[in-house]
């Protein structure tokens, strides 16, 4: 299938006429004060049926109007940006230089469909809630494919580690680190956090071993009570949290009623 045919199919899937595309492109031309973005009726027809190559400006306009990435449109015309890093070998400049741009963008597997039972209010093992994975070109996320990691989501109603870990955060879990580390921590940032599965669900917290018991310790400022469970029988440590992604803004779900009074750490 030619690039022009793919463009026509993309347009028809959105229910757009050639006139609609012309009108939308003219708006982009007005916004950027450049007629280079404008795609007249006759030109779009030639692009779709006669194999006319659109300019970089018109290609951008088509990407915006058809809700398709610029990179994907380039691939329709035979330009594969994922090959950039490999193609650098065609020339070796004699002088040292900075590599500018996104080189070596590769496809990584990311979740594109979640289990309908996924509840944003509850802390969850994301790996078990993913129904479908998809290939996403994103070079800086390549480390996500490492097999020793899984990923968790902190429920919007889970204040176990608040305010150190905000509800609604995503955490990266190293499944190879399931042994509880003991020691004297100079700050709360040094103390390891663990992702734990209990009979009631998942939680992310500090942990301590007391003989055959596992102590789930929340943050001292959290309203959540510490819990003592039988290790291996009532709880399973899935791994240590090694990465956190959270929005650095006021958590809208936090209220005085929910937070209540902070709890003391178990001695």
Same domain, 151 and 254: yes
pLDDT at 180: 92
For residue 21, what are its two tokens? 């595309």
Distance, CA of 27 to CA of 37 (rounded, Å): 9
Which CATH number characterizes residue 215's domain? Answer: 2.10.109.10
Number of domains in the chain: 2
Q: What is the distance between the alpha carbons of residues 91 and 30, in angstroms, rounded to a whole number? A: 40
Residues of the chain with pLDDT under 50: 96, 98, 104-106, 137-144, 146, 250, 252-253, 255-257
pLDDT at residue number 257:
43
| 24 in a structural domain | yes
For 166, residues 6+ apart whose C-beta sits below 8 A from its C-beta are 154, 246, 247, 251
SS3 sequence of 39-100:
CCHHHHHHHHHCCCCCCHHHHHHHHHHHCCCHHHHHHHCCCCHHHHHHHHHHCCCCCCCCCC
pLDDT at 232: 66
Last residue of one domain, picked from the residues 35, 64, 80: 80
**DSSP codes, 140-198:** GGGGGG-TTEEEEE--TT--TTTTTS-TT-EEEEETT--SPP-S--SSTTTSPPEEEEE
Give Cβ neighbours of residue 119 (< 8 Å, ≥ 6 apart). 155
pLDDT digits (tens, 9 = 90+) for 14-52: 999 999 999 999 999 999 999 999 999 999 999 999 999
- The confidence score (pLDDT) of residue 249 equals 61
Please report whether residue 245 resides in a domain: yes
Q: Which domain holds residue 25?
A: 3-80
Q: In this predicted structure, what is the pLDDT of residue 259? A: 59
Predicted local confidence at residue 40, as pLDDT: 96
Of 55, 80, 105, at which residue does a domain stop? 80
- Please check whether residue 108 lies inside any domain of the structure: no
The answer to whether residue 224 sits within a structural domain is yes
Shared domain for 255 and 159, answered yes or no, is yes
pTM of the predicted model as reported, rounded to 2 decimal places: 0.49
Contacting residues for 226 by C-beta, under 8 A, at least 6 apart: 215, 216, 217, 218, 263, 265, 266
| pLDDT at residue number 96 | 45
């Amino acid at each position: 299938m030619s690039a022009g045919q793919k463009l026509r199919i993309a347009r028809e899937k959105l229910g757009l006429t050639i006139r609609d595309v012309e009108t939308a492109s003219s708006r982009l031309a007005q916004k950027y004060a450049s007629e280079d973005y404008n795609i007249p009726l006759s030109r779009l027809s030639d692009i779709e049926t006669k194999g006319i190559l659109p300019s970089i400006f018109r290609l951008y306009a088509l990407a915006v109007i058809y809700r398709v990435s610029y990179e994907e449109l380039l691939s329709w015309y035979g330009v594969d940006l994922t090959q950039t890093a490999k193609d650098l070998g065609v020339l070796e400049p004699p002088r040292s230089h900075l590599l500018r741009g996104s080189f070596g963008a590769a496809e990584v597997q990311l979740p594109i469909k979640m289990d309908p039972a996924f509840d944003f209010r509850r802390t969850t093992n994301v790996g078990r809630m993913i129904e479908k994975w998809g290939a996403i070109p994103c070079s800086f996320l390549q480390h996500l494919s490492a097999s020793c990691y899984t990923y968790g989501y902190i429920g919007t109603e889970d204040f176990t580690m608040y305010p150190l870990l905000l509800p609604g955060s995503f955490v990266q879990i190293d499944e190879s680190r399931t042994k509880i580390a003991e020691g004297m921590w100079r700050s709360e940032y040094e103390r390891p956090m663990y992702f734990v599965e209990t009979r009631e669900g998942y939680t992310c917290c500090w942990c301590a071993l007391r003989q055959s018991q596992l102590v789930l310790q929340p943050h001292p400022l959290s309203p959540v009570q510490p819990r003592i469970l039988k290790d291996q029988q009532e709880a399973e440590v899935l791994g240590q949290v090694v990465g956190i992604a959270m929005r650095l803004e006021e958590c809208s779900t936090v209220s005085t009623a929910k937070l209540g009074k902070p709890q003391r750490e178990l001695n």
